[in-house]
Amino acid sequence: MYVYMGHMRWSDIKPYEDWFWIKNRIDLVEDWVTSIDYQKKSINTKSGKSFSFDKLILALGSKPNKFGWPGQELKAVQGLYSKQDLESLEEISASTKQAVIVGGGLIGVELAEMLLSRGIKVTFLVREKKFWSNVLPMQEADLISRHIRKHHVDLRFETELAEIIDDGNGRAGAVITKSGEKIPCQLVGLTAGVSPNIDLVKESELETKNGILINTFFETNIADVYSIGDCAQFREPVAGRRALEQVWYTGRIMGETLAQTICGTRKQYNPGPWFNSAKFFDIEYQTYGNVNPTLSENEIEFYWEQAGGEKCIHFVWDKNTGIFKGINTFGIRMRHELFDQWLRKNALIDEVMMNLKAANFDPEFYTHHEQEIIEAFNRASGKNIQLKPKTWWRNLLNA
Amino acid sequence: MKLVKNIGLVLFLVGLTIFTSLVFTGDFKMTDEIMRSNLSESELLNLETRLTSEVVEKNYSTSLSFGNDVIRIYNETNQQFRDAQQWDKVMYTAPKEFASKLARASSAGWIPQHKSLLFFLTFGLGILGSLMFVLAELKLGGPAGIKNNGVYHSAATNRGWIGISAFVFLVSFYILLYYFPFALTNVIGVVDPVKHLFNPADFASQWFLYGFMYCTVMIVMGARMIIKYRHNNYQIVRTIVVVFFQVIFAFLLVEILPLFDLPARDLKNAWPLDYSFLFEWNVTELLDSGHFGKFLFVWGIVLSLVIIPVMVYFYGKRWYCSWVCGCGGLAETLGDPYRQLSNKKLWAWKLERWMIHGVLVFAIIMTIFTGYLTYNVIQNPTMESKEYLFGFSAYDVRELYGFLIGSIFAGVIGTGFYPIFGNRTWCRFGCPLAAYMGLVQRFKSRFRITTNGGQCISCGNCSTYCEQGIDVRAYAQKGQNIVRSSCVGCGVCAAVCPRGVLKLENGPEANRFGNEGPIVLGNNGFELNQ
Ligand SMILES: Cc1cc2nc3c(=O)[nH]c(=O)nc-3n(C[C@H](O)[C@H](O)[C@H](O)COP(=O)(O)OP(=O)(O)OC[C@H]3O[C@@H](n4cnc5c(N)ncnc54)[C@H](O)[C@@H]3O)c2cc1C
Ligand code: SF4
Ligand code: SF4
């Protein structure tokens, strides 16, 4: 994204300088694996090389979903996942004035922002009632939808792709929606989710379902073969988690955990409280704990939105016990460590609200909204919580 | 709006072209009368014959050629005296200043008669045009937020041809300013109308021109900075403050103080950045200037030895580097478009540590030499060869420092190379004050950049836009805080981070470094920090 938009060069997005791998005795090989021989414990690559292994970790990632739409194999129809996708996007952009993006999730909004940065008009088809309202509660989905429109994206709700039409030269020329509308375009972005990229191992003795099946030690059905990240599917997910976890943070946590096993201390996947983040154009989003699109029965919520409609906070807690369950925050940064601690020790919503000042992570001199939030909270809940003065947040960690 | 922006660009370029062409045009003719009224008695005695036969009444079309002739004669004459060991006749005015004085007096024709018009055609158009260009972004740039689209696609900011041109322009300007100021005679004359506002009897010098340009550039580019980061109050406040300090302290006060017969000093300029603080002329002038002068002398000492370390302890060196300092101020305004060009590689960090601490050591040694000289001048006025310490002349040491560090490094490389090496080359590799504050910041300070638990996604924005070349991501992706001597606290890493991972803050020294273990927050499989 940032390379395409000109914020960075390719070399800037590498997480380490190239010498890092050599220094740490890691052979970084750029090649395609074409087959794996589990008996001989070796893998073969496209360039004809073969490597033997004692242990194998499969972290194959995902690939963009395609749902069998007519025309999905045309030129200028693509997902956004790999470096190859980026290169082809770069090539197609030059001859593109209008684009249609299909599928309203994180990748779709990212693609929209990218294309706009090149002056390409974007029509964004979203199946849900509001942008990402399958994940976000309606209030937040609405706030983000408004923000996306503010950036002049033609955002269409409850609109699905029916087919992609050839422009006569084998390239996409328009899309037709399920309601029959024809939208001309020279580029179609398919961003309706991703699924595990397991073609390499599907027809082998490795057990797969949607992804590569693993236990909570990341072990597959074959000894010494592990799988982590987007392509892995837990046979039995850990409590409160999904079988497929296709986000960056869980991928990293899996990697950190498995590294311990590989180095001789067998460790089980045991992630802490859920957290995630994203950025929608100019609005940053962080979440800690669970805020589901609809409240479950014993949950209660408090939602606050800033007058300008560009910031909001959504708290959810247990109706009976008052235990804090989760927070969504848009346009206001919050401290991960504090929320992590509160979620782990089952802190009550009152404690969270009281310490909002310490939890704030916005840069210095930012406008603070805690007082406003707490007043609205007290009005809504009938409580009388007073904000604690801004203590140095670390004092709270062990309190 | 696009039109406004383009008109602005054209106006700016017209102003810049006229400004530049002034260096290459003009009418310079020294009459006999001008020569007699501008030379001192001894100078006249030494130079009259040659000047009269070779320069007087001759027409020059640039001040550069005029000045070169004058300097040649001046130097050759001096050399003759030296060769003849006529030490009492040798002249000690700096040749470039001598030439500047004569060039200004000899300027004739249209240009010196239309200074106000030319002021409007250069500075006026330049300021108007660049403001239009900058303000148009308010509308064109879309809603407030990070505005880095196309930074690496633009020839202006990716070391493309525009960047290279800007580099050539800036370097040439600095070379003329420092070593051939007489070449700028016309340009300096253009700001005479401004100088007259302070003192109708006085004329602008190259340093007045420089100071005035510095301020206008910082105001215009400061406006650009504020518009670019208008969603970020830290950047807004910081930019206003740093421009304020430049305009009020470094420019206006320095112009106003002499009107009250007080020594013209920039009160915020601290040793060792202000390397001439202990020079004998500085100290004697201050001590001879009554209460205010003595106050300035004490203030200078207290500023460097007490205020600076104490403030760095509480707030980090950012309070100076990004909020007060003139060099930092220019880097944060004019230099902002180039911040991504700083080198992030490990070798650059290693080089940086050798260089900047080397300069600090050099500055201290140089100061010891000049301090010794100054002490002798005041305490042992009768002593001979006051300047010799360990066999070296304090004059030589400080001249070397002034040339290598004061002008080449701080000016030509520090600013001229913005479009190539990024905007903080001097602050990162050369500034001895930054080195000094960096040591305090690294080892004894409450400042740190806190990393927000496990939220970093290793995207690289922070490292890319760190003007000090700090690989911020290397820390953030491990959940570690950023505690680095070179961090000037500009806050841009925190601004560009798309995940809200970074926060500049002051707090207790305990736990300053954040996560020290290999495991980032969010993983229950391990106890944190064990
Ligand atoms: C545009 C986009 C935006 C996203 N935004 C967010 C976000 O905001 N927050 C978030 O939490 N997550 C986000 N994600 C998801 C996140 O990037 C993934 O969950 C994460 O990268 C998965 O890591 P992984 O290591 O499992 O797989 P990947 O990072 O996909 O790595 C898989 C690697 O395997 C290689 N590979 C595959 N097959 C072969 C083969 N046969 N031979 C050799 N190599 C092979 C691939 O080339 C690739 O390098 C985003 C994803 C995309 C595409
Ligand atoms: S680390 Fe951040 S605050 Fe410090 S100099 Fe770099 S960008 Fe500025
Ligand atoms: S900008 Fe933020 S998310 Fe990106 S690498 Fe830096 S700290 Fe991490």
Residue A246, CA atoms < 13 Å, CB-side half-sphere: 21
Tell me what percent of the residues of chain A surpass a pLDDT of 70. 100
- Pairwise CA distance, residues A260 & B349, whole Å: 32
Task: Report the separation in Å between the CA atom of B474 and the middle of ligand 3, taken as the mean of its atom positions.
Answer: 9
Contacts B236 to A, Cβ<8 Å: 365
Can you give the length of chain B in residues?
A: 530
Distance of residue A334 Cα from the nearest chain B Cα, in angstroms: 8
- Please tell me the distance in Å from A277's CA to the nearest CA on chain B: 6
Residue B205: what residue type? S
N residues, chain A:
399
Indicate if ligand 2 lies below 6 Å from the C-beta of B479.
no
Please tell me which residue of chain B has the smallest CA distance to A150. B143
Task: Kindly determine whether residue B237 and residue A268, on different chains, have CB atoms separated by under 8 Å.
Answer: no
Distance (Å, rounded) from C-alpha B398 to C-alpha B365?
A: 9
Distances in Å between the Cα of B213 and the Cα atoms of A232, B23, B243, B268, B372 are 61, 16, 13, 19, 36
B233, B460, B523 ranked by CB distance to A365: nearest = B233
Tokens of A390: 């801004």
Subunit contact A6:B237, Cβ cutoff 8 A: no
Please work out whether the CB of residue B502 comes within 6 Å of at least one atom of ligand 3. Answer: yes
Residue among A1, A2, A7 with most chain B CBs within 10 A, to mutate: A7
> Average pLDDT for residues A216-233, to the nearest whole number?
97
Given a contact cutoff of 8 angstroms between Cβ atoms, the answer to whether A206 and A212 are in contact is: yes
Which three-class secondary structure state does DSSP give residue B143? coil
| Amino acid identity, position A312 | C
Mutate to test the pocket of ligand 1, among A65, A106, A257 (most ligand atoms within 8 A of CB): A106
The residue with tokens 């509160």 is: A342
Q: What is the pLDDT of residue A399?
A: 63
* Residue in this structure with the two tokens 């699905």, named with its chain if needed: A160
User: How many residue pairs bridge chain A and chain B with CB atoms within 8 Å of each other?
Assistant: 157
| Cα–Cα distance for residue pair B483/B496, rounded to 1 Å | 19
Q: What percent of the residues of chain B are helix, what percent strand, and what percent coil, each to the nearest 5? A: 65, 5, 30
Q: Is the CB of B494 under 6 A from ligand 3?
A: no
B contacts of A260 (beta carbons < 8 Å): 525-526
For the record, the structure tokens of B434 come out as 């930054």
Nearest protein CA to atom 5 of ligand 2, as residue: B487
Shortest Cα–Cα distance, B448 to chain A (Å) = 13
CA distance B57 to B35: 10
Residues 6+ apart with CB under 8 A from A62: A81, A194, A195, A196, A197, A230, A231, A246
Q: Would the CB atoms of A277 and B455 count as touching at under 8 Å?
A: yes
pLDDT of amino acid B528: 41
b/e for B84-117, b at 16 or more Cβ within 10 A? eeeeeeebeeebbebbbbbbbbbbbeebbeebee
Q: Work out whether the CA dihedral A84, A85, A88, A89 comes out positive or negative.
A: negative
Domains of chain B: 27-108 (no CATH), 447-528 (3.30.70.20)
Ligand 2 centroid – CA B225 distance (Å): 16
Whose atoms come closest to the Cα of B493: which ligand?
2
User: pLDDT tens digits, residue range B235-257?
Assistant: 999 999 999 999 999 999 999 99
Q: Which residues of A343-368 are buried (b: 16+ CB within 10 A; e: fewer)?
A: beeebbbebbbbbbbbbbbbbeeeee
Q: Which helix (H) or strand (E) holds A305?
A: strand A299-305
Mean pLDDT, residues A103-121 taken together: 96
Measured from the CB, is residue A113 less than 6 Å from ligand 1? no
Residue range B95-123: mean pLDDT, rounded: 94
* One-letter amino acid for residue B172 of the chain: S
List, in sequence order, every beta strand (DSSP E) within A46-168.
Answer: 50-52, 56-58, 62-64, 77-78, 98-102, 121-125, 154-156, 161-166
Tell me the three state secondary structure of residue A277.
strand
Mean per-residue pLDDT for A61-69? 95
Q: What are the residues facing B59 on neighbouring strands?
A: B29
DSSP H stretches of helix in B229-289:
233-244, 253-256, 280-287
Three-state DSSP state, B313: helix
**Would you identify the CATH topology of the domain A66-192?**
FAD/NAD(P)-binding domain (3.50.50)
Q: Is A110 in the pocket of ligand 1 (CB under 6 A)?
A: yes
- pLDDT tens-digit readout, B417-473: 999 999 999 999 999 999 999 999 999 999 999 999 999 999 999 999 999 999 999
pLDDT score, position B530: 37
Which of chain A's residues have a Cβ under 8 Å away from the Cβ of B477?
Answer: 15
* pLDDT band, very low/low/confident/very high, at B63 (cuts 50, 70, 90): very high
Q: Give the residue among B416, B425, B426, B341 at the shortest CA–CA distance from B170.
A: B416
Torsions phi, psi of A328, nearest 5? -110, 130
Q: Packing angle between helix B63-83 and helix B95-106, nearest 10 degrees?
A: 140
| Cα of A311 to nearest chain B Cα, Å | 12
* Mean confidence (pLDDT) of chain B: 93
Say if strands A121-125 and A98-102 run parallel, antiparallel, or are unpaired. parallel
Q: How many CA atoms lie within 13 A of B479 on its CB side?
A: 22
pLDDT attached to residue B518:
75
Q: How close does chain B come to A335, measured CA to CA in Å?
A: 6
**CB B334 within 8 Å of CB B217:** yes
B497 Cβ inside 6 Å of ligand 3: yes
Contact B521 A340 (CB under 8 A): yes
CB distance A175 to A100 below 8 Å: yes
Q: Which residues pair with A213 in a beta bridge?
A: A233
| Phi, psi of A57, rounded to the nearest 5 degrees | -115, 120
> Counting atoms of ligand 1 from 1, which one is nearest the CA of A278?
8
> What's the average model confidence in pLDDT over A171-176?
97
Mutational test site, ligand 3, from B477, B492, B504, B521, max ligand atoms within 8 Å of CB: B477
Whether A284 sits inside 8 A of B498 (CB atoms) is: yes
Distance (Å, whole) CA A9 – CA B360: 34
ipTM of this model?
A: 0.95
DSSP A131: T
CATH classification (class only), A31-63+196-262: alpha beta
Q: Ligand 2: does its nearest atom lie under 6 Å from the Cβ of B427? A: no
Are B461 and A337 a contacting pair at CB < 8 A?
A: no
| pLDDT at B529 (0 to 100) | 38
Find out whether B16 and B126 touch, Cβ atoms under 8 Å.
yes
**Cβ–Cβ below 8 Å for A271 and B521:** no
Q: Is B522 exposed, middle or buried (0-12, 13-18, 19+ CB in 10 A)?
A: buried
Q: How far is CA B131 from CA A115, B4, B5, B12, B14, in A?
A: 29, 10, 9, 9, 14
Ligand 3 centroid–CA B472 distance in Å is 8
Kindly identify which residue of chain B lies nearest to residue A149, measuring between CA atoms.
B143
Closest CA to A231 of A203, A275, A200, A277: A200
Fold for A275-398, please state it: Enolase-like; domain 1 (3.30.390)
CA B189 to chain centre: 22
Which three-class secondary structure state does DSSP give residue A100? strand
CA distances from B181 to B51, B106, B241, B346, B402 (A): 20, 15, 31, 39, 17
CB of B497 sitting under 6 A from ligand 2? no
Compute how many other C-beta atoms are within 10 angstroms of the C-beta atom of residue A2: 21
Examine domains A31-63+196-262 and A275-398 and report if their fold is the same: no
Most ligand 1 atoms within 8 A of CB, residue of A247, A253, A283, A288 to mutate: A247
Matching residue, tokens 């202990």: B278
Q: Please give the pLDDT value at position B449.
A: 97
Residues B462, B496: Cα–Cα separation, whole Å: 6
Find the closest chain B residue to A110 by CA distance: B498
Q: Where are the alpha helices (DSSP H) in chain A?
A: 10-13, 19-23, 83-93, 106-117, 138-150, 199-202, 248-262, 336-344, 349-354, 356-359, 370-381, 394-397
Between the CA of B501 and the centroid of ligand 3 the distance, in Å, is: 6
Give the closest of B142, B145, B459 to A2, CB-based: B459
Residue B407's pLDDT is: 87
At B270, which amino acid appears? A
What are the extents of the domains in chain A? 31-63+196-262, 66-192, 275-398
In 3D space, the residue among B61, B65, B63, B39 whose CA is nearest the CA of residue B52 turns out to be B39
CA distance B309 to B439: 10
**Which chain B residue is nearest to residue A280, measuring alpha carbons?**
B498
Copy the structure tokens of residue B515: 């996560």
Residue A391 has pLDDT above 90, yes or no: no
* Closest Cα in chain B to A364: B234
Minimal CA separation from A36 to chain B, in Å: 30
The runs of H, that is alpha helices, within A212-369 are 248-262, 336-344, 349-354, 356-359
Angle, alpha carbons B378-B384-B387 (nearest 5°): 65
Which 3 state secondary structure label does DSSP give B500?
coil
Residue nearest atom 28 of ligand 1, based on CA coordinates: A61
Residue B73: its pLDDT value, please?
95
Verify whether the Cβ–Cβ distance B500 to A277 is below 8 Å: yes
pLDDT over 70 percentage in chain B = 99
Residue A387 per-residue DSSP state: P
| CB of residue B308 inside a 6 A radius of ligand 2 | no
**Rounded CA gap, B61 and A336, in Å?**
68
- Cα–Cα distance for residue pair B82/B70, rounded to 1 Å: 18
pLDDT band at B510 (very low <50, low <70, confident <90, very high): confident
**Each residue of B482-496: pLDDT tens digit?**
999 999 999 999 999
CA distance A99 to A113: 12
Ligand sitting nearest the alpha carbon of A132: 1
Going by alpha carbons, the residue nearest to atom 4 of ligand 2 is B487
CA dihedral A174, A176, A182, A183 (to 10 degrees): -50
pLDDT at site B520? 84
| Inter-chain residue contact A333 with B150, CB threshold 8 Å | no
The strand pair at A225-227 and A212-214 is best described as unpaired
- B61 pLDDT higher than 80: yes
For residue B502, give the ligand 2 atom closest to its CA: 2
Residue B391: the pLDDT is 81
